[in-house]
Amino acid sequence: MNNNSPKFERNRFMQKAAITACSILLASTLIAQDDPDQLNTVLDIDALYTPLVSKPIHGDTAVKLLNELETKHYSSIDINDNFSSTVFDSFIDALDGSKLYFLKEDIDQLSAYRYTLDNSLQDGSVEPGFEIYNLYYKRILERMIYSVDRVENHIGEMDFTIDEAIEIDREDAPYAASRADLDELWRLRIKNSVLSLRLTGDDEDEIRDKLSKRYRNQLSQISKTNDKDIFQTYMATIATAVDPHTSYFSPRDSENFNMGLSLSLQGIGAQLTTDEEYTKVAELIKGGPAERGNELKAGDRIVSIGQGVDGELQDVVGMRLDDVVAQIRGEKGTVVRLNVIPVDAVGESNATVVSITRDTVKLEDQSAKKEVIELSYNGDSYKIGIIDLPTFYFDFEAASRGDDDYKSSTRDVHALLDELKEEDVDAVVVDLRNNGGGSLSEANQLVGLFIETGATVQIRYSGLRNGFTRSFGDNDPEVAYNGPLAVLVNRTSASASEIFAGAIQDYQRGIVLGGQTFGKGTVQEIIPMDYGQVKLTRSKFYRISGESTQHRGVIPDIAFPDLYDAYEDIGESSLDGALPWDTVRPVEYRPYHAIQALLPELQQRYEERAEASPDFIYLRDQIERTRVMRQREQLSLNEQKVKEEREQNRRTEFDAENMRRLLKGLPLNEWVEDDDEEEDDTLIANSDTPATEEADEDAVEEEGDPLLLESGRILADFIALNSNRVSSVSPANTSQGR
């Protein structure tokens, strides 16, 4: 298929939209949480547990899935013992990655399947997957029964004055050697849940009631597990064992997946995923209600959900993801309240309630926007144009109808560049932070706004032997903007964003600033099957320099400190089975500027500013505080110690913010003592506190995004250095474009 054809673009953009949307707002109908069946669930494993069995269609589909993986995946896939071992480990990890359900003897027993899953699948049998899941199903029911008994009958026995602790991350921990060892793990986990609620001010009866409902709700939800759930989980594990972006969708999940293609979704605009017993916010959609509200963050974990401005918060810990999504989904204009554990917190005692008004998430909400920031630097004034591009969008439906005013990121950015030129800006920053990608054609054309003609990306396809590689690019000689340019990226800039940033960097057309990008350099295709569908990796992106964007991403010319630096589990390199970085032959291209020659001086000037910048000092300290917090291995269960630690963290954050304000000459905040009647992190701006005389007056005026402001200063340095360089050589030796 021609990758520049409307059909190709429509398919690619629909896939991107669906990948973003499929787990956002679409789900099956939720069983009401106050269902009396949940509260009266019989706590008897023999009454609750019935092994589930597969159906003939499951085995037939498994054979067809293996065939799709072997014949159509970008990489050469061998279904052998190594593949079987990978699937076994991935399946066990998907079910019990925290080692909280299986016993060591269970794993020893199940290990008989380690090197035989491939044979069973090729024979059309998924029974080993069902047997593994059935044992997990039994163990998780046992744990819920234990939990209900513990909170209903033993809360009064808990002593919060002794020094006990709970492990935060059990990924590398051993499996429990005995049921008694597993009981001890869960005793501490439940004690931590009780302590978290104590710290919010709940009394013993309230805690017992809340946790009893939580665990009985989980027990009721788990007891509704069916053969479709097991089959979906097993097949999805088999698919992702090949690479993290290949996946299988059962008919039910396929329907939800495909419904998301409209890009007109009523809800909050947040992609959700599962993180142990919690539902976690994986990503916020640009332009969506959650992103606009600026309270919900990627990485936040949802504890409970309330409907309307005063509806009771219903616990959703341990609930199925699709049922949680169904609670969040709702009519435009209605309010949903989420009680979440912030991404940088570790326990429910730090949970906070976020209110979001549901709205329709439309393509138009993700349109490019511009602003102009003015800054004083080295005695001169500069006007820096900022173009914020949330995604690479293209309204293929309007374009196919022949509409003259169809939406496209390239057309919108072109118009914004024209406006910025009329405003006589000195330089432009294209802000691609948190831009997860979109249309390949739009990325190509957007590069074309800043260069004359030339290749922008190479795509290597799977096929006979080593496949084949094609280059794509811009054939329009028009240049919309030829002035100083910077591209600002971060760890969540992915796919099409990496193509654009990589091309601008390779051509030395602009300076790439910020953080290392995500590293998603693969392309997926949706392939229908008789029973469900598979999303399969079919090709791979490469820069014009020949370097892959896969795994490694784009490394900025000048790196800024970024909160994502504190998170090691973000980016392609953190995903199990991610395809490796490699290279292909570069295409011919010629750089526009000598940016590489100027980088040492630009870097030195930046470092001198960053070293003394109040905002950058604060940001680096914040990154380090977050990193230290995330590296903790245990949580104390001593109530007094937890209170003291929480107060110390609050004070540290308060002092850091006040130091930033002091150095910038801004009014300081007043400390408010924390007590049970006050919410945490209460800061009051004291307008009577004068700015320090030593503070930089420009800094007081420029209380904006510090990374955008620094991008402007780097561009100001580039203008000055480039002007000096051009004036120092003869016109015959200058390189003005190509």
pLDDT in tens, 232-245: 999 999 999 999 99
Predicted pLDDT at 43: 81
Which residue has better confidence, 361 or 508? 508
Residue-level pLDDT at 254 = 65
Residue 46 scores a pLDDT above 50: yes
Res 390 pLDDT > 60: yes
Query: Is residue 479 pLDDT above 80, yes or no?
Result: yes
Among 548, 590, 508, 408, smallest CA distance to 10 is for: 408
CB-CB contact of 449 with 414 (8 Å): yes
Q: Please report which confidence band the pLDDT of residue 255 belongs to, taking 50, 70 and 90 as the band edges.
A: low
CB neighbour list of residue 159: distance below 8 Å, 6 or more residues apart: none
Lowest-confidence region among 221-225, 466-470, 494-498, 687-691: 687-691
pLDDT of residue 700: 43
Beta pairing, strands 427-431 & 485-489: parallel
What is the percent of the chain where pLDDT is above 70? 85
Q: Supply 412's token pair.
A: 């919108």
- Please confirm, yes or no, whether 23 is among the known catalytic residues: no
pLDDT at 675: 55
> How much of the chain exceeds pLDDT 90, in percent?
63
Average pLDDT over residues 78-90: 97
Residue pointed to by tokens 């970008």: 74
Whole-number pLDDT of residue 732: 35
- In this prediction, residue 256 has a pLDDT band, given cuts at 50, 70 and 90, of low
Strand segments (E) across 242-310: 247-249, 265-267, 270-275, 278-284, 301-307
pLDDT per residue as tens digits for the range 190-227: 999 999 999 989 999 999 999 999 999 889 888 889 99
pLDDT confidence band for 725 (50 / 70 / 90): low
Task: pLDDT band for 399, please (50, 70, 90 cuts).
Answer: confident
> Over 50: is that where the pLDDT of 5 sits?
no
Residue 465 has pLDDT above 50, yes or no: no
| Lowest mean per-residue pLDDT among 99-113, 346-360, 691-705 | 691-705
Secondary structure class of 647 (helix, strand, coil): helix
pLDDT for position 266: 54
pLDDT one-digit tens code per residue, 644-659: 999 999 999 999 999 9
- The residues near 33 (Cβ < 8 Å, ≥ 6 apart) are 213, 217, 314, 315, 316
Residue pair 557/512 in contact (Cβ under 8 Å)? The answer is yes
Q: pLDDT grade, residue 144 (50/70/90)?
A: very high
Among this protein's residues, is 643 annotated catalytic? no
Task: Decide: 421 and 455 in contact? Cβ < 8 Å.
Answer: no
Using pLDDT thresholds of 50, 70 and 90, give the confidence band for residue 365. Answer: low
The two structure tokens encoding residue 588: 């011919």
pLDDT-derived band of residue 295, with 50, 70 and 90 as boundaries? Answer: confident
- Would you state the pLDDT for residue 548? 96
Supply the pLDDT for residue 690: 43
**How far is it, in rounded angstroms, from Cα 340 to Cα 141?**
26
List the structure tokens of 193: 């849940």
- Measured distance CA(267)–CA(471) in Å, rounded: 39
Model pLDDT, residue 677: 40
Give the chain's domains with CATH numbers.
34-223 (no CATH), 265-361 (2.30.42.10), 378-456+472-520+549-613+717-733 (3.90.226.10), 615-707 (no CATH)
Measured between alpha carbons, how far is residue 187 from residues 151, 317, 345, 577 in Å? Answer: 10, 17, 22, 35
* Residue 637 CB partners (closer than 8 Å, separation 6+): 160, 162, 164, 165, 166, 188, 191, 192, 195
Q: Which residues lie below 8 Å from residue 286, measured CB to CB, with a gap of 6+?
A: 365, 366, 390, 391, 434, 435
CA dist list (Å): 568 to 342, 565, 626: 17, 7, 12
How far, in Å, are 406, 651, 682 from residue 678 at the CA level?
A: 51, 15, 8
pLDDT of residue 288: 81
Q: Among the options 99, 407, 520, 540, which is catalytic?
A: 520
From the list 344, 395, 506, 717, the catalytic residue is 506
pLDDT given at position 364 = 54
- The more confident residue out of 266 and 157 is 157
Distance, in Å, from the CA atom of 13 to the CA atom of 10, rounded to the nearest integer, reads 5
Highest mean pLDDT among 40-49, 348-357, 513-522: 513-522
Query: For position 689, what pLDDT does the model report?
Result: 43
SS3 state of residue 384: strand
Query: Does 10 have pLDDT greater than 50?
Result: no
pLDDT at 405 (0 to 100): 81
The answer to whether 145 and 45 are in contact (CB under 8 A) is yes
Q: Whose structure tokens read 């990978």?
A: 86
Task: Please state the rounded mean pLDDT for residues 225-231.
Answer: 93
Q: Can you give the length of the chain in residues? A: 738
Using CA atoms, how far apart are residues 199 and 210, in angstroms rounded to an integer? 14
Q: How far apart are CA 32 and CA 38, in angstroms?
A: 9
Q: If you average pLDDT over residues 157-186, what whole number do you get?
A: 95
Give the contacts of 706 (CB within 8 A, at least 6 positions apart).
613, 615, 616, 619
520 catalytically annotated:
yes
- The more confident residue out of 582 and 398 is 582
Looking at every residue in the chain, the average pLDDT score rounds to: 85
Q: Is 708 helix (H, G, I), strand (E, B) or coil?
A: helix
Question: Sign of the C-alpha dihedral, residues 381, 446, 522, 530?
Answer: positive
Distance CA 711, CA 327 (A): 41
- Does residue 731 carry a pLDDT above 70? no
Over residues 529-557, the mean pLDDT reads 95
pLDDT exceeds 70 at position 574: yes
Banded pLDDT at 403 (limits 50, 70, 90) = confident
Across the range 158-178, mean pLDDT stands at 95
Q: Is 60 exceeded by the pLDDT of residue 259?
A: no
Question: Which of 36-45, 157-166, 459-468, 570-579 holds the top average pLDDT?
Answer: 157-166
Report the SS3 class of residue 537. Answer: strand
Query: Among residues 409, 439, 495, 613, which one is catalytic?
Result: 495
Residue 343 has pLDDT above 60, yes or no: yes
Is there a contact between 433 and 397 (Cβ–Cβ < 8 Å)? no
Q: Which DSSP string corresponds to 406-426? A: --BHHHHHHHHHHHHHHTT-S
